[in-house]
Chain A
Amino acid sequence: MKILVPVKRVVDYNVKVRVKADGSGVDVANVKMSMNPFDEIAVEEAVRLKEAGIATEVVAVSAGIGACQETLRAALAIGADRAILIETDAELQPLAVAKLLKAVVGKEQPQLVICGKQAIDDDANQTGQMLAALMGWPQATFASKVAIADGRATVTREIDGGLETLSISLPAVVSTDLRLNEPRYATLPNIMKAKKKPLDVTNPADLGVDVAPRLSTVKVEEPPKRGAGVRVADIAQLVDKLKNEAKVL
């Protein structure tokens, strides 16, 4: 069984981004970039399925600028076997990414796509569900446990009220939640090995996909700031403030 893992290059989760003065977007120049944390979890899960003898090959795929090669190398260092870059300078929205992934799925014929539940830059939480819809495949989003047997996946999902377990036929799309696994650190030998693994480059035109955005950004602003708070000396003062100043008790 082949597993396809879409990985996105995003601003590192430790960076607090700044909005550009002209309101056109956030400033990502000279900011640390990393693999979307949920996608690291997806790569780790796929590699574990390979190590367990369930998957035969793990293919990482990223859509975006040339620098996404670094993200793909990071996936190869965790243990993916090969990588595909869909290179473009165009702005990509989730529907366009889902269409690009559909084209790659058509060529690669994986039985399972494991993606992140959400990219931490656009916070869209859409791409996996959209890909599943375009393929007519079932989906199991926000996964905290995945088991594969007899051509089906049994997936435990994190939902608002607790947990839910689904049984879905394969091929399917699974999206990862935080507690699915803890990704390993890539070791130096594996980082060296990753440099030699195959990385193919294609582009939206070759895949026959129109990636034109459907949403245009009118402006990007800082969220309203909270007024400066105060320090209280003790619980008595805190309770007094909550009762008499904030009036929430």
Chain B
Amino acid sequence: MTILVIAEHDNQSIKAATLNTVGAAAKIGGDVHLLVAGAGCGAAAEAGAKIAGVSKVLVADAPHYDAQLAENVAELIKGLAGSYSHILAPATSAGKNTLPRVAALLDVAQISDIVGAESADTFVRPIYAGNALATVRSSDSVKVITVRTTAFEPVAEAGGNAAVESIAAAADLGISSLVGRELTKSARPELGAAKIIVSGGRGLGNGENYHAIMEPLADKLGAALGASRAAVDAGYVPNDYQVGQTGKIVAPQLYVAVGISGAIQHLAGMKDSKVIVAINKDPEAPIFQVADYGLVADLFEAVPQLTAAVG
């Protein structure tokens, strides 16, 4: 059994989500290869070769993989699939975009967002916003899988010594192109990788309040900032702050929910956090049902007090 893990990278370095995905591959068992498809991605491939548990890195370096668009990358993976029992990618926006395309090209199902691997063909995945867990068995020859990174321990970033092999690029389909990216710049940790997340909802009232109330707390705690959909929709913060069923799935050591009611769609994204704190003025808010520590209070008083009390 050999498993191909699709690396998430920016041509220079490998994203943390890849380490959890290799962790999931290790759980399934077998040899693990890593695919780095990019343009000028030698540094990323070198970094991939150091990941613990990876035995070979395949590098497809070509201009038409620069933006890692789904059409071209899926075509490349299709050509490699014959040698593999499983193809895994993290269930990030990139993995979710590309992998179903691979599955369809191979005429197999995709198993989305697994949180457990029971055997080589049986996997656990959440359905209905995490209100149920389904155990599913695949009868397909190749298992195409996206991995919920919070459910699998990352492997070590260093210590491995994999062979690096250049592979030929597949054809450039030429049907899509990147116009541009507007990436949120932040000195704070990434939501997916943060140990502490402070997350704000509609209770903050507006964007200025979000920044004035939440940022000092995040600074003190070295935390990432998150938000509910309502806060994102109302424009308090950019879309990539959204935690939930249809946003990011997080599981930090500490999640502090401020002025968030706790709709099932939000809970779906954070209820596996180790410790949950809720600050909400409504004692009936459903967020208190999942909170380890609940404080019924006006956030405009409580959060600055918390900021002053920590660190």
Which residues of A are interface residues toward B (Cβ below 8 A)? 11, 13, 16-17, 19, 26, 38, 93-95, 98, 117-118, 120-127, 129-134, 137-142, 144, 154, 157-169, 172, 177-179, 213-223, 226-227, 229-232, 234-236, 238-239, 241-242, 246, 248-249
* B239, A144: Cβ atoms closer than 8 Å: yes
A124 to B290, CA, bound (A): 25
Q: Which residues of B contact A139 (CB under 8 A)?
A: 70-71, 97, 101, 176
* A229, B131: Cβ atoms closer than 8 Å: no
Which residue from B70, B93, B291 sits with its C-beta under 8 Å from A160?
B93
* A26, B135: Cβ atoms closer than 8 Å: no
Which residues of B are interface residues toward A (Cβ below 8 A)? 69-71, 74, 92-94, 96-105, 107-113, 122, 126-140, 173, 175-184, 192, 196, 221, 229, 232-233, 238-240, 245-246, 248, 253-254, 264-265, 271, 274-277, 288, 290-297, 302, 305-306, 309-310
Given A142-B97, A158-B93, A218-B136, A239–B310 Cβ distance below 8 Å? yes
* B139, A216: Cβ atoms closer than 8 Å: yes
A16 to chain B, nearest CB (A): 6
Given A123-B128, A226-B271, A238–B293 Cβ distance below 8 Å? yes
What would 20 more interface pairs be, CB under 8 Å, given A125-B96, A133-B102? A17-B132, A19-B132, A26-B127, A38-B246, A117-B246, A120-B128, A123-B112, A123-B113, A123-B126, A126-B110, A133-B100, A138-B173, A164-B178, A165-B180, A179-B239, A213-B109, A217-B136, A229-B288, A229-B290, A238-B277
A94 to B133, CA, bound (A): 18
* A220, B134: Cβ atoms closer than 8 Å: yes
Q: Which residues of A contact B133 (CB under 8 A)?
A: 220-223
A207 to B18, CA, bound (A): 40
* A229, B137: Cβ atoms closer than 8 Å: no
Q: Which residues of B contact A164 (CB under 8 A)?
A: 178, 180-182
Q: Which residues of A contact B276 (CB under 8 A)?
A: 226, 229
B80 to chain A, nearest CB (A): 16
A126 to B95, CA, bound (A): 11
* A95, B103: Cβ atoms closer than 8 Å: yes
* B131, A223: Cβ atoms closer than 8 Å: yes
- Main secondary structure, interface of A, reads mixed
* A125, B100: Cβ atoms closer than 8 Å: yes
A124 to chain B, nearest CB (A): 5
Which residue from A26, A158, A218, A238 sits with its C-beta under 8 Å from B240?
A158
A108 to B253, CA, bound (A): 51
A132 to chain B, nearest CB (A): 7
* A166, B179: Cβ atoms closer than 8 Å: yes
* A130, B104: Cβ atoms closer than 8 Å: yes
Which residue from B137, B221, B293 sits with its C-beta under 8 Å from A241?
B293
Residue on B with the closest CB to A154?
A: B179
A248 to chain B, nearest CB (A): 4
Given A133-B74, A239-B310, A229–B293 Cβ distance below 8 Å? yes
A137 to chain B, nearest CB (A): 7
A236 to chain B, nearest CB (A): 7
Task: Identify 18 residue pairs between A and B in the complex whose beta-carbon atoms are under 8 Å apart, listed by A's number.
Answer: A16-B131, A19-B131, A132-B71, A133-B102, A161-B181, A168-B175, A172-B175, A214-B108, A216-B139, A218-B135, A222-B133, A223-B126, A238-B277, A239-B310, A246-B275, A248-B254, A248-B274, A249-B221
